[in-house]
Amino acid sequence: QEVTLRLADSLPVGHYMTTGVADPLMAKTKEMTGDKVAFEHFPAEQLGKAKDMLSLVQSGVADIAYVGASYSADKLPLSSVGELPEAFSNSCEGTKAFWSVAKPGGALDVAEYQPEGVRALAVLVLSPYQLFVHGDLAGIGDVNGMKVRVTGAPKIAAIQKLGGVPVNVPGPEAREALSRGTVDAIAFPIASIKPYDLAPHIKTATKGLNFGSFVATWMISQAKYDSLPEDVQKALTEAGEAATLNGCEATDASTEEDFKFVAEQGVTFVDLPAADLDTLQGVMSSVGDEWAADLDGRGKPGTDILNAFRAGLKSE
Amino acid sequence: MAAPGEPQLPLNAPSAWLARVETVLVALSAIALAGIMCTVMLDVVLRYVFHAPLVWSYDLIGLYLVGAVFFFALSDTMQQHGHIALDVFVPLIPFRLRHAAQSAGFAASTLLLAAITWLEYGQAVQALVADNRIAGIVPFQTWVAHAVLALGMGVLVLRCAYRTLFHALSAVTGRDMVELPPPPVTSTAGLESAE
Amino acid sequence: MTVTVALIVLVAMLVFGLPVALAMAVSGATGLYMFGGWPILQGILKTSPLSTANDYEIITIPMFLLMAEFVIISGVANDLFRAATVWVGRLRGGVAMATALAGAGFGAISGSSTAAAATLASTSIPAMLKEGYEPKLACGVVAISGTLAMLIPPSIALILYGIIADIPIGALLIGGIIPGIIVTFTIILTIAFLVWRDPSVAPVGKSYTIREKFASLNRVGLVLILFFAVTGTIYSGIATPTEASGIGAFCAMLIAAWERKLSLTNLLRALRSAAQTTCMVLFIILGAHIFGYFFTLTRVTNDITTWVGGLDASHGMILAVILLGYLILGFFMDQIAILILTVPVVLPLILDMGYDPVWFGVLVVVTAEVGMVTPPLGMNVFVVARYTRRPLGELFRGVAPHVWAHLIVIALLAAFPAITLWLPSTMR
Ligand code: NA
Ligand code: NA
C-alpha cells in the first residue's frame, strides 16, 4: 500500500449514508487501484464535530470528510441549493441534479468549492423532508399555528410561510419534544423516523411533498488530490461518481421500506387536496427565489446557482 | 497566597494591570450568562403561552453567548485559581524545582494558547472579509464568535506569559513572587469558622 | 513513542500542579505535532476551541451551576437539610443520614455534583461537627452524597452522555431515578454500619415531635417549586431538558429575590462564580478534546477497543474490563472528560454486544461517581476540602467505606439491567 487516506465523518457507526456512499467509495477505490490505497475511517465525530469537517479537510487533518451543506453554510452558502423545497420527490432526482452543479467543473464547484480549495468526490441529497404530525393533518391549512421542529434557514422559511411556528430542538431531544407536546410536528427525512423511534408519537404524515432536504458531500482538498498519483486520482473520481449513484439508489430503495415500516406503526399518510398542492408549489418556489435573491444581495451568485440546479432537475 | 474562599489579590503591577482587563472581561462573561438564562426563559414563555418563540435564540446562544461565557472568563478563572490542578504532590517538591517546572509548563501553555489565539484571529479576519454568516433566520455573522475567542484567549496568553516569567523569577530568587493557589490546611483549627 | 512522550508530558504537568486543562491541551498538542507536524496541529487547533463552545446544548452546565448559586443564596439548601434532620430524628448518626437525604433532594433540583457537594458542605458539615460527629465521617458522607446529583434527574452527566451517544435524554434521566434511590439508601446503610461498628463516631440525634416534623416541611415548599420548575417542565412538555436548566436557574433567582437575599452584590457574585466554574469545566473539555483527537489519530483508542472487543471472553467479562477501565480513569481524570473521551469509542462495542445504551449510560455515570471521590483527582473531595479546610488524606479515608459500598451497587446494576430499565420502559 502506497497511499493511506483518512476519511472522517460525524455519523454514527453503520449509518446509512456511510454504507450507501462512503463504504462503496472506499471499496471501489481500493479495487480499482489494486489495493494501493488504504483507508483509515474515523466515524462518529472522532476527529471533530459536523461543522468542523470542512476545516479539517482543508487543513489536512482528514483527507476526505463528510461535509453537510447546512453545517458549513457560513462557508458554503450556495450548497444549500439542494436543500431548497424544489421540484423533486426522491433522493435520486435531487442527487443527480445537485451532482450536475457540484461535480468538478460544475457551476457550484466553480463558484464555491474551488475558492475554498476543496473538491466534491461524492454527494447525496436525501429524500425530501416530510411533515410528521402528533395529531391530525387534513389540509395544508392545518399547519397554521402548529409548532414544528425544523432546522436550516430554507426549511424554517417554508414552515413560516405556511403559518407554522418553527421551533429549534436538539436532535437527541426531538422524540421527547414530540411525545410531550413541546412541538406539534416535526419536519424530518423518513429515514430518521425509525432510529429516533418517533413513530409511536406520530398520527399523520405527508408523503411525496418537499419541505426541503439535506445535502451531504464527501470532500477532498484540491491540494491533497493533486498530490496523489494519477491512477489514484482517477480511481477516486470514478469511485465517487459511482458511490453517488449507489447512495441515492440505496436511499430511495430504503425510503419505500421506511414508509412501509412507519405506516405499519399506525401512522396515516394523508393525500392533500389538489388545491393544497397548488398552493404548496407556489409557496415553495418562492422560498427558493427569496433564498437566491438574498444571496445575490450579499454578492454571491444565488440566482445563477438556483437556475443551474433547476435546469439539472428538468434534464433528469 | 490567597486564603481559601477569598479572592486572589494581584501581587505586583503587571498582574494588577492584567487583573483589570480580566475584571472587565469576566463582567461581560457574567452578562452573557445572565443573557442565556433570560433568553431561554423568555423563549419558553413566548412559545408556550403565545405560540411565538424567538426564532433567533438558539443561534444567538449557541454562536455567541456560550462562547462569551467561556472565553471571557478564561483568564479571570486562571488568576482566581479556578482551573482545577492537582495539589497532592506540589507540597512535596523542592521550592526551586517546583517553580522552575511550573515556569516551563506555563511557557509551553503560553506557546500553545498563543497559537490558538493567532489562528482564531486569522479566522475572524477571514470571516469578516468574506462576510460569512450562518444559515439562520437571523444570519448572524461568524467573525464575532472567532473574535470573542481570540480576545478571551489572548488575555489568557498574557496571564500565562506573566506566570512563566514570575515562576522563573521565584525559582531564581528563592522567594514566592507569583500568585499561588490556597494551601490545603492540615491543622484542625478553623473548623468552627468554616463557611 | 509519540504516545509515550505525550503521556510523560501529561503526567509531569499534572504532578507539578499545572491546571488539568493545560496539561491535557499541551500534552495532546505535543503528540499531534509529533504525529503530523504543524499542518495537523493547526488543523485541530483551528476547530476544537470554538466547537467546544459553539454548542447550544452545553448550556445545561452553566445553568445548573448558576441555579446552585442562587439556591445557596436563598437559604433553601439550609432549610432542606434542616427538615431532613428533623425527620430522621433521634437515630444514631441521624444527621449524617439526613445529609444523604438532603443530597438526594438537592439532586432532584440540580444536575451538578460539585454544586451539590458545595451546597451540602456549607450546610451540613458545621451542623455535624457541632453535634460531635467525627470529622472523617462527616466529610465523607458529604462528598459521596454530592454525587447523587449526577444520578438523580436532572443530571449534567446523563445529559452529556445522551448528547455524545445521541440517544433520548428523557429515557436516560428516568433511568437514573431507581439507581439514585438505591445509592441514597446504600449511603444511609453504610452510615448505619459505621456507627454500629464504632458508636463513638456519631452521637444520637435529638427527637422531635410530630408537630415539629410537619412544621419543618413548610419551607420545603420552595424546594418543590424548584422541582416543578425543572423536572415538572420536562415531563409536561413545556420545555426540553436543556431549556429546563435555564428555567431552573431563573426560578431559583426569583426565590432568592422573594426571600430578600438577592442583593446586587450577591447576584454579581453568583454570576461570576458560575461563569468561572463553567469556564473551568469547558476548559477541561477543550483540553480533553485536543488530547482525544491525538489519541484517535494515532489509533490508540481504536487499538484498545479492538483489543477489548477481540478478547476471547464472555460479554460479562468484557463489560467488567470496561467498567474497571472507567474506575481507573476516574482516579486520574475529570468525569466529563472521561465521558467525552471514551463514550464514542466504547459505546459501539457495547451495542455490538447487544447491551442497552440507556442502561450502560447509567452504569457509566454510577461508576464515574466513584471517581469523584477517589484520589488523586476527586472533584467532590476537593470541593469539601475547600469549604472545610480539612486535610485531603483524612477526607479520602472518610469516603473510602462509601466507595466499597458503591462497588457493590455497581455490580448489582450491572448484573440486573432491569433495575435501571424498568422505569423508562413504563414511559412508552
Ligand atoms: Na440531579
Ligand atoms: Na478520582
Q: Is the pLDDT of residue C352 over 50?
A: yes
pLDDT for B156 beyond 60: yes
Nearest partner of B149 among B186, B106, B119, B179, judged by Cα: B119
Residue C153 has φ and ψ, to the nearest 5°, of: -65, 150
Is the Cβ pair B33, C66 closer than 8 Å? yes
Q: Give the residue among C44, C327, B95, C169 at the shortest CA–CA distance from A170.
A: C169
Q: Rounded to the nearest 10 degrees, how much is the dihedral formed by the CA atoms of B156, B158, B162, B168?
A: 90
State pLDDT tens for residues C120-155: 887 888 888 888 899 999 999 999 999 998 898 888
Partner-chain residue, chosen from C56, C249, C271, that has the shortest CB–CB distance to B61? C56
Q: How confident is the model at residue B191 (pLDDT cuts 50, 70, 90)?
A: very low
Residue of C nearest to B48 (CA): C238
Q: What CA–CA distance (Å, rounded) separates B43 from C231?
A: 18
CB burial string C303-321: b at 16+ within 10 A, e below:
eebeebeeeeeeeeebbee
Confidence of residue B190 (pLDDT cuts 50, 70, 90): very low
Q: Per-residue pLDDT tens for C40-74?
A: 999 999 999 999 999 898 898 899 889 888 988 99
> Which ligand has its closest atom nearest to the C-alpha of C396?
2
CB A62 within 8 A of CB A53: yes
Candidate from B26-40, C85-99, C395-409 with smallest mean pLDDT? C85-99
Q: Other C-beta atoms within 10 Å of C51: how many? A: 18
Q: Across residues A74-85, what is the average pLDDT?
A: 96
The alpha carbon dihedral of A133, A136, A138, A139 has a sign of negative
pLDDT of residue A55: 97
Q: What is the rounded CA–CA span in Å between residue A171 and residue A11?
A: 13
Tell how strand A204-206 and strand A268-270 pair up. parallel
DSSP state of A137: -
- Write out chain B residues lying below 8 Å of A299, CB-based: 131
Hey, which residues does C19 pair with through a beta bridge?
Answer: B85
Confidence of residue B103 (pLDDT cuts 50, 70, 90): very high
* CB-CB neighbours of B192 under 10 Å: 8
pLDDT over 70, % of chain B: 90
Minimal C-alpha gap between C44 and chain A (Å)? 7
pLDDT value of position C337: 65
**Å from CA of C110 to ligand 1 middle:** 5
Helix (H) or strand (E) holding A8: strand A3-8
The mean pLDDT value for C379-408 works out to 85
**Residue A13 pLDDT greater than 80, yes or no:** no
A260 lies within 8 A of chain C by CB: no
Which residue in chain A is spatially nearest to C170 when comparing CA positions?
A176
CA angle C417, C418, C419 (to 5 degrees): 90
For A153, which of B52, B131, B135 is closest by C-beta distance?
Answer: B135
pLDDT for the residue C427: 67
Measured in Å, residue C284 CA sits from the centre of ligand 2 at: 15
Write a three-state SS string for C47-90. Answer: HHHHHHHCCHHHHHHHHHHHHHHHHHHHCHHHHHHHHHHHHHCC
- Residue contact A74–B55, C-beta within 8 A: no
| Proportion of chain C above pLDDT 70, given as a percent | 97
Buried b (16+ CB within 10 A) or exposed e, A232-247: beebbbebbbbbbbbb
- Give the strand pairing for A185-188 and A130-133: antiparallel
Is the CB of residue A68 less than 8 Å from the CB of residue A49? no
**C43 and chain A: CB distance < 8 Å anywhere?**
yes
A34-66 tens-digit pLDDT: 989 999 999 878 899 999 999 999 999 999 999
CA of C37 to the centre of ligand 1 (A): 43
Collapsed DSSP state (helix, strand, coil) of residue A24 = helix
Give chain C's mean pLDDT.
87
Is the CB of A80 inside 8 Å of chain B's CB atoms?
A: yes
- What is the pLDDT at residue C312? 79
User: Three-state SS for A232?
Assistant: helix
ipTM of the complex: 0.94
pLDDT range class, residue B186, cuts 50, 70, 90: very low
Percent of chain A with pLDDT over 70: 99
Chains that touch C (3 or more CB pairs under 8 A): A, B
Orientation angle between helical segments C156-165 and C335-352, nearest 10 degrees:
50
Q: What grid cell was written down for C200?
A: 463513638
User: What is the reported pLDDT for C114?
Assistant: 78
On the question of pLDDT at C425 being above 90, the answer is no
Phi and psi for B115 in degrees, rounded to 5? -60, -45
Cβ of C428 within 8 Å of Cβ of A60? The answer is no
pLDDT band at A25 (very low <50, low <70, confident <90, very high): very high
Is C170 touching A (CB cutoff 8 A)?
Answer: yes
| Contact (CB, 8 A) for A301 and A77 | no
Higher-confidence residue of A104 and A177: namely A104
- C211 CA → ligand 2 middle, Å: 43
**Looking at this protein, which amino acid is placed at residue B33?**
L
pLDDT band, residue C334 (cuts 50/70/90): low
- Per-residue pLDDT, averaged over C85-105, amounts to 88
- pLDDT digits over C235-261, tens only? 788 998 889 889 999 999 999 999 999
* CB contact A266 to C (< 8 Å): no
Q: Which subunits have 3 or more CB–CB pairs within 8 Å of chain A?
A: B, C
